[in-house]
């Protein structure tokens, strides 16, 4: 979903990050508010004042989205659902879940928390704007707060549209899940609604283009396509999790992995291992004891100047083992897949009692998923219909 992200700060234990695409939103919102919206609502000021109002409105939008996603994250934590953090990107923000909700109730409570928090923030903003007007304070501040009240109200309404993965779509999924008792079926239904809603937005975008508003039309088209793709991806993630759930890492790991020793110089590592095997990560094992020391990656090698490869050894640059690159053989494969997807890694070391027992690759997991889903699909097609007696 995201490109390059940067961590801004941590809030209640959650990392708040921004994708570079968020800068586009900040620029467009600031420009639109300072050049059109606020001059029309509060005329008579000079351009620097409107620019300050625009920047204030953009900052308020940032706070509003973080507040919305933080509400999701706090409720998710209450139900034991691990969260990676909050990321702001071109289409708003997202609280990144590393797993599906444990129950329909947890899904419902987590989903409604965001819109409710936006309604609360809308009420606070509107109340403050009224107080400022009644107190005779600068009307520019009241104008910005009134705009933030409107935006938070619209944010709550838009998110409650019953199209997955919007909050309303998650509410719909939780209701279907509760009555059917099947997360996959509920996700399928909610995703279809989400995909349909995405196409409605695309159609609205084309109509807007015909009405002579190219920027607004393109924006609705992009949002519609994004929601349609996100709905499809959300359903695929549920299928993947169900296929892997309960399967231990041990089943998929390569129990005879290729490893390197810390004394190997980098030029030999590149020629004899990286170029020959095409792996981006190699375990580093102590020569005499067989103890796992860590791993070395192509990124670490590339950070060393080429003329120093012959004088630099693997042990000089290897990183230690940790949750980001190692996993236990009995861990659930869903956890491993989630971790690799979130970190962008394609391989993880499998460790037991400090010893390397295997290597798990993303390719092996994907090959298993492909075969399992294909067999299940063929099995369903081959099953004879049940005829009434």
Q: Tell me the catalytic residues.
A: 69
Rg (CA), the chain: 26
Q: What is the pLDDT of residues 224-247, one digit of tens each?
A: 898 899 888 888 888 888 878 888
Model confidence over 244-279: pLDDT tens digits? 888 888 888 888 889 999 999 999 999 999 999 988
Share of the chain above pLDDT 70, in %: 95
User: What are the pLDDT digits (tens) for 291-330?
Assistant: 888 899 999 999 999 999 999 999 999 988 777 788 888 8
Helix (H) / strand (E) element for 313: namely: none
What is the pairing mode between strands 5-11 and 14-19?
antiparallel
pLDDT of residue 387: 42
pLDDT for the residue numbered 380: 57
Provide the residue count of the chain. 389
Has residue 64 got a pLDDT over 90? yes
Q: How far is 19 from 4, CA to CA, in rounded Å?
A: 6
pTM summary value = 0.77
CA gap 369, 363 in Å, rounded: 10
Helix ranges (H only) for 37-136 are 38-41, 47-78, 104-134
Backbone angles phi, psi at 93, to 5 degrees: -150, 165
* Predicted local distance difference test score (pLDDT) of residue 111: 94
CATH 1.10.10.10 fits domain 249-370 = no
* Across 77-103, average pLDDT: 84
Q: Where are the domains of the chain?
A: 5-160, 178-244, 249-370
């Amino acid at each position: 979903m995201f490109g390059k992200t940067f961590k801004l700060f941590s809030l209640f234990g959650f990392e708040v990050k921004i994708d570079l695409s968020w800068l586009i939103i900040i620029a467009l919102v600031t420009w639109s508010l300072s050049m059109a919206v606020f001059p029309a609502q509060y005329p008579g000021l000079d351009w620097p004042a409107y620019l300050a109002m625009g920047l204030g409105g953009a900052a308020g939008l940032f706070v509003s989205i973080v507040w919305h996603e933080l509400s999701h994250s706090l409720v998710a934590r209450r139900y034991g659902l691990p969260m990676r953090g909050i990321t702001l990107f071109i289409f708003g923000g997202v609280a990144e879940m590393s797993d599906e909700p444990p129950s329909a109730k947890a899904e419902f409570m987590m989903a409604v928390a965001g819109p409710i928090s936006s309604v609360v923030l809308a009420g606070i903003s509107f109340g403050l704007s009224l107080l400022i007007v009644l107190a005779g304070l600068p009307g520019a501040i009241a104008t910005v707060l009134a705009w933030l009240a409107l935006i938070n109200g619209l944010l709550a309404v838009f998110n409650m549209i019953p199209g997955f993965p919007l909050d309303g779509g998650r509410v719909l999924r939780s209701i279907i899940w509760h009555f059917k008792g099947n997360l996959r079926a509920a996700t399928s239904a909610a995703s279809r609604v989400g995909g349909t809603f995405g196409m409605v937005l695309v159609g609205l975008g084309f109509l807007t283009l015909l009405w002579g508003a190219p920027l607004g039309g393109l924006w609705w088209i992009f949002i519609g396509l994004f929601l349609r793709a996100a709905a499809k991806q959300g359903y695929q993630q549920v299928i993947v999790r169900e296929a892997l759930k309960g399967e231990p890492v041990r089943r998929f790991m390569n129990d005879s992995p290729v490893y390197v020793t810390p004394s190997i110089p980098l030029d030999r590592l590149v020629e004899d291992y990286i170029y020959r095997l095409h792996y981006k990560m190699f375990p580093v094992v102590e020569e005499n004891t067989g103890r796992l020391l860590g791993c070395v990656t192509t990124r670490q090698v590339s950070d060393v100047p080429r003329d120093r490869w012959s004088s630099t050894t693997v042990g000089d640059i290897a990183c230690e083992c940790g949750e980001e690159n190692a996993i236990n053989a009995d861990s659930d494969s869903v956890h491993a897949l989630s971790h690799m997807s979130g970190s962008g890694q394609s391989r993880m070391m499998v460790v037991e009692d400090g010893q390397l027992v295997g290597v798990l690759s993303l390719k092996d997991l994907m090959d298993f998923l492909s075969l399992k889903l294909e067999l299940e699909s063929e099995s369903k097609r081959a099953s004879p219909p049940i005829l009434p007696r």
